[in-house]
Structure 1
Amino acid sequence: MCTLKMLPPFQQFLTLTEWYVIPLIWLPVVGWFILKSIRMDLTIPQVTLFMAFGIFIWTLLEYTLHRFLFHIKTKSYWGNTIHYLIHGCHHKHPMDGLRLVFPPAATAILLLPVWNLMNFLATPSTAPAMFGGGLLGYVIYDITHYYLHHGQPTSEVPKGLKKYHLNHHFRIQDRGFGITSPLWDKAFGTLPPLKLAKKNR
Structure 2
Amino acid sequence: MVKQAFAVDLNKPLVWQVGHLGEAYDEWVHQPIVTKESPRFFHNGALEFLTRTPWWMIPLVWLPVAWWFVSSSLNYTDIISPYHVAAATAAGVLGWTLLEYSLHRFVFHMRTNGYWGNTVHYLFHGCHHKHPMDNLRLVFPPAAATLVLVPVWNLMKLILPDCYAPAFTGGILVGYVMYDCTHYYLHHGKPIQGLTHDLKRYHMNHHFKLQDMGFGITSTFWDRVFGTLPPTKPAKKSN
For Structure 1 versus Structure 2, the TM-score category normalised by the shorter chain is over 0.9
Rg larger for: 2
Corresponding residue number in structure 2 for 1:66? 104
Corresponding residue number in structure 1 for 2:69? 33
Displacement of 1:92 after TM fit? 1.0
CA–CA distance in structure 2, aligned partners of residues 98 and 74 of structure 1: 25
> Is the aligned partner of 1:107 residue 2:145?
yes
| 3-state DSSP of counterpart to 1:179 | coil
TM-score when scaled to structure 1? 0.93
For 1:160, give the aligned amino acid.
Answer: D
CA–CA distance in structure 2, aligned partners of residues 74 and 98 of structure 1: 25
Corresponding residue number in structure 2 for 1:172? 210
Structure 1 stretches lacking a partner, 5+ long: none
CA–CA distance in structure 1, aligned partners of residues 195 and 88 of structure 2: 26
Displacement of 1:52 after TM fit? 1.3
Per-residue CA deviation, residues 38-78 of structure 1 (Å, 9 max, x unaligned), is 11113221111101111111111100110111111001111
Report matched runs for 1:178-197 at 5 Å: 178-195=216-233
Corresponding residue number in structure 1 for 2:6? none
> Is the aligned partner of 1:92 residue 2:130?
yes
Corresponding residue number in structure 2 for 1:83? 121
Per-residue CA deviation, residues 27-46 of structure 1 (Å, 9 max, x unaligned), is 01111111111111132211
For 2:172, give the aligned amino acid.
Answer: G
Judging by fraction of residues, say which structure has more helix. 1
Which residue, out of 54, 63, 78, partners 1:18? 54
Equivalent pair of 1:165/1:176 in contact (CA under 8 Å): yes
Equivalent pair of 1:2/1:89 in contact (CA under 8 Å): no
CA–CA distance in structure 2, aligned partners of residues 2 and 83 of structure 1: 18
CA–CA distance in structure 1, aligned partners of residues 150 and 47 of structure 2: 22
Structure 1's consecutive aligned runs of 4 or more residues displaced over 6 angstroms after TM superposition are none
TM-score when scaled to structure 2? 0.79
Displacement of 1:2 after TM fit? 4.0
Deviates most, 171-180 or 38-47: 38-47
Corresponding residue number in structure 2 for 1:156? 194
> Is the aligned partner of 1:52 residue 2:90?
yes
Displacement of 1:142 after TM fit? 0.4
Percent identical: 56
Displacement of 1:154 after TM fit? 3.3
